[in-house]
Amino acid sequence: MKMYLRLVSALIQGVEPSDKEKKRNKIFYIVMSIIAGFGIMLPMTFFVGVIIYSLTGSLVTFGTAQNGVELFLHLISAFSFIFGLNVIFSVFYFSGDIENLLPLPLKPYQIIGSKFTAALISESVMEVLVIIAALAGYIIGAGKPIWSWLVAVIGTITLPIIPLVYCGILCLVVMYFTRFVKNKDTVNKITGIFTFAVIIGIVFLISRSGFDTNELIKAMSQTDNGVLAVMNIIFPHVPFLINSMDAASLWQMIVYLAVNVAAITVFMLLAQLLYFPSVIGIGQGSSKSRKNSSHIIEKMRMHRPSITYLKKEFDILFRTPAYFTNCVMINLIWPAFFYLIVVMQGRTNFLESFIYGIHSGNEETVLLFMLGISAASVLVTAVNCIASSALTREGKHFAFIKYIPLPYIAQINVKALVSIIISGTGMLIYVIAACIWLNTGIKFILFSCMLSLFSVTFATYFGIYMDSVNPKLIWDDELNALRGNYNIFFNMAMAIVIEAVICAGSYLLFKFTDVGSITIIMMLFVLIMILNAVSYLLCHYKATKNIENMLI
């Protein structure tokens, strides 16, 4: 047990920034933690709690108060599974510590057990807040007794276990049966693509089935709910947790815990059987084929340094499975979720009046559309973290940036261009598609594209500046460059806060003054341009200084 705890502690420390990195800029960490706490975590927790509280309140009258929270916990479990899959693949098979762990006298289940626990802890921090908020919303909404709070605490800690166990089992089985495939990066990438394909497939199926929020609420009010019945088969632990809370039943709690223990036992047995055959020799898996290089050397031509540097950045981003999935593929997933939200609204509600508003040139609708484009562009750029991990991704060879004869700002510009190309291309496609769908004019499309692109540029330079303050340079595998990287989280928090202020300010200006929407949109455009200038200057003067002063 002692050894297990030590291993878990060591593995968690591998994900977190080092003490040296944390100490490097303590004030920055404190200020950003406050902004992230008050800007993202608290509002999100409060929002989830209120939603579940209201839903529970409206379902109490039908005698199905638990259906709302039950569905929510199923969704959380599904999200844990989807987003945990890549993490588990990377942690079990592609992390840098494997070569150090395999020679130790440890059994496969001990290695997997500690790796799993470390991944569970580091992946569940945000999730725990959402779960406790949902359960609290339910307990207050349904007026449950003290016992429910105890169950809620146990549930909050243990709920993410089974989805991650599913990830673990899937990972072990896939890697066992693909152990003869030489290029493991391909397996890793295919898993990432498969995950996204599943998400997009689910979104597509939901949209094709004529899904409607009103129908969902109606279904939630029925005691024999088909959606929940299916979800209860996939995640069988959830209903026991809810029932234990609902009926203050110790027996249900014991069954809930027993389901978790059974899942972990099966998982550990599989780990004992499958892990070593599939992990041993994984480091030597890449291509060993040797071809004569003379014809490639013959084709070499001199290019501008920035062109080759840009190609290098793209090559690394697309060839590294962790970056490919989290920085590139992620650009596909958010529009899918957005599409799902739009579809869930149904054509009768907000969307119908929105389409009408755009067609009729309604000032408020057009303003909301433009604000939405700017906010989405900034958030997509922050979420894909290409910019906010631009320096972090250099890792141990950060010194390369410093000893080559290329000015720091030139290197920053190339890194920014990568983010602008990937985030901007994605956003432009979505903006153009939305405009065509809304049947807007060409001028409207052009302006929307410009606003989107400049918002992306601002978020890019700002992200790089944020990363330059304190890049996480000590990581043993690429996923750890992104996981547990506070800079990425802080940058997202800042992006949300800045956009929230801009959007709220613009909307309030429209609502409570005589200023027209066109003027406000122009002001928004000018503001984004000013933010572009500010973030570029931050990079030019501050980020370059930060790089220059970085001790490595």
Q: Which residues bind another protein (CB under 8 A)?
A: 286-294, 296-298, 300-305, 307-309, 311-312, 315-316, 319-320, 396-397, 399-400, 402-407, 548-549, 551-552
Q: In the bound complex, what is the minimum distance in angstroms from residue 548's beta carbon to another protein?
A: 7
CB nearer another protein, residue 265 or residue 308:
308
The DSSP 8-state label assigned to residue 398 in this structure reads: G
Closer CB to another protein, 313 or 499, in the complex: 313
Of the pair 218, 303, the CB lying nearest another protein is at 303
Q: How many CB atoms lie within 10 A of CB 222?
A: 12
- Give CA–CA dist 347/207, Å, rounded: 12
The CA distance from 225 to 221, in Å, is 8
Rounded to a whole number of angstroms, the minimum distance from the CB of residue 463 to another protein is 22
Token digits of residue 355: 């389409």
Tell me which DSSP letter residue 445 carries.
H
CB of 388 to another protein, least distance (A): 21
Residue whose CB is less far from another protein, 107 or 396: 396
- Can you give 233-293 as a three-state secondary structure string? HHCCHHHHHHHHHHHCCHHHHHHHHHHHHHHHHHHHHHHHHHHHHHHCCHHHCCCCCCCCC
HSE (side-chain half, CA atoms, 13 Å) at 402:
17
Single out the residue of 387, 389, 390 nearest to residue 482, CA to CA: 389
Q: How far is the CB of 540 from another protein (least distance, A)?
A: 16
Cβ proximity to another protein: between 30 and 399 the closer is 399
CB of 394 to another protein, least distance (A): 10
Give the C-alpha separation, 477 to 483, whole Å.
Answer: 10
Q: Please, what is the minimum distance in Å from the beta carbon of residue 96 to another protein?
A: 10
CB closer to another protein out of 163 and 192? 192
Specify whether the CB–CB gap between 70 and 147 falls below 8 A.
no
Which CB, 308 or 513, lies closer to another protein? 308
Query: Cβ of residue 197: shortest distance to another protein, in angstroms?
Result: 24
Task: For 317, list phi and psi in degrees, rounded to 5.
Answer: -65, -40
> Considering only CA atoms, which of 509, 63, 96 is closest in space to residue 246?
63
Query: From the CB of 308, what's the least distance to another protein, in Å?
Result: 4
CA angle 234, 240, 244 (to 5 degrees): 160
> What is the per-residue DSSP string for 12-76?
HHHHSPPHHHHHHTHHHHHHHHHHHIIIIIHHHHHHHHHHHHHHHHHHHTTT-THHHHHHHHHHH
Minimum CB separation from another protein for residue 546, in Å? 12
| Comparison of 408 and 461: residue with beta carbon closer to another protein | 408
Q: Which is nearer to another protein, 74 or 472 (CB)?
A: 472
Cβ distance to another protein smaller for residue 146 or 300: 300
Query: Cα dihedral angle (413, 414, 416, 418), rounded to 10 degrees?
Result: 160
CB of 55 to another protein, least distance (A): 47
